[in-house]
Amino acid sequence: MSNELVELEEGEIMPARRKPEEGDLDITPMIDITFLLLIFFIVTSNLQQQTAAQMPEAKNGTTVSSLDSAVITLTPSGSNGRATVYLGDGITAETMADGADLNRQEELIADYIERSFAGTIESGVPKRHLLIKADGKVTYGEVERIALAASRGGLVDTIERLYLGVQDK
């Protein structure tokens, strides 16, 4: 249909105009719902990286706040008997069977503990406790090695308590 003006002669009837087709879709409600869902998922999500360690069940114990604790999580890493170590700030200090890698891992752990107790990582609040959460399949020797690495560098006096994470019955 052209936009030209047409002159009508006397007695002619003008044809009915067609209604313009609705091509516009109001997406404002859809955007509102999208933002509401986004806000919901941001508020309900856990932004800290946690690992799924299957900890042994406890017979006795107490709860420990992870807010004032430096958290180290250990999971089994394979047939070499060593554990994969997850530090609370998301660093993975994975190890191999090589002795040099074990020394590097222990250095990373000592550095993480030092920064945690100084308050220079995560929430910025200095930590007071050390919480080691170990999977039930990780050997006690590995847990002991990690605890000793965490106490390296004169931090033994800084750590008020060492907690071993277990699962409630």
pLDDT in tens, 10-22: 777 777 777 767 6
Is 32 in a helix, a strand, or coil?
helix
Interatomic CA distance for residues 138 and 81, integer angstroms? 8
Predicted pLDDT at 96 = 45
Banded model confidence at residue 38, pLDDT cuts 50, 70, 90: very high
151 near 114, Cβ under 8 Å?
Answer: no
Banded model confidence at residue 54, pLDDT cuts 50, 70, 90: low
Predicted pLDDT at 98 = 47
H or E segment at 113? Answer: helix 99-118
pTM for the model stands at 0.58
Instruction: Sketch the domain layout of the chain as residue ranges.
Output: 69-165
